[in-house]
Amino acid sequence: MADKVNKGNLIGGILHSQKRWRIAVVIGAVILVIGISGTLYFGSINVTEVVKNNVNPQTGLPNTVNGVPPAQAQLIFEILIFIGLFILAYGIGTRYTRLSNKLRQ
C-alpha cells in the first residue's frame, strides 16, 4: 500500500527503484565531467605558473590566481573525479544486479 502511495508522489515517482540507477548514473557522469574539466583547467594553470617561474619560494607551489591557489583547487577537482566515478559505478552496478536477479527468476 505504501509503495502505491509513493509511486503517485512526485519524489517517489522520480526515485522509484527502477529509475534510481539511471539517476545515479546521470549524477555520477555530471560530477565526473565537472571534476575532469576543473582538473584540466587548474592543472594547466599550475603548469603555466611553474613554467613562468611564478612560484612561492617558501612552499614551491604556484601563487594564487584570483585568490584561488591552483594546486589546492586541482586537488579538490581530483577528489570530485573519484566521487563521480564511485557514483557512476554504483549506478551501473545496481543496473546489472537488477538484470541478473530478473534472469534468475
Whether residue 83 lies inside any domain: the answer is yes
Whether residue 80 lies inside any domain: the answer is yes
Contact 33, 87 (CB under 8 A): no
User: How far are the Cα atoms of 6, 45, 72 from residue 14, in angstroms, in the given order?
Assistant: 10, 40, 36
Q: How does pLDDT run across 56-78, given as a tens digit for each residue?
A: 788 778 888 778 888 889 999 99
Q: Which three cell numbers stand for residue 54?
A: 611564478
pLDDT for position 6 = 47
Whether residue 16 lies inside any domain: the answer is no
> Domain total for the chain?
1
Q: How does pLDDT run across 29-59, given as a tens digit for each residue?
A: 999 999 999 999 999 988 888 888 888 788 7
Whether residue 98 lies inside any domain: the answer is yes
Whether residue 4 lies inside any domain: the answer is no
**Which sign, positive or negative, has the C-alpha torsion 93, 96, 100, 101?**
positive
Contact 95, 21 (CB under 8 A): yes
pLDDT for position 101 = 66
Asked whether the whole model's pTM tops 0.85, one would answer: no
Contact 29, 80 (CB under 8 A): no
* Boundaries of domain holding 49: 22-104
Whether residue 41 lies inside any domain: the answer is yes
Whether residue 3 lies inside any domain: the answer is no
Helices (H) then strands (E): counts for the chain? 4, 0
Whether residue 6 lies inside any domain: the answer is no
Q: Per-residue pLDDT for 11 more than 90?
A: no
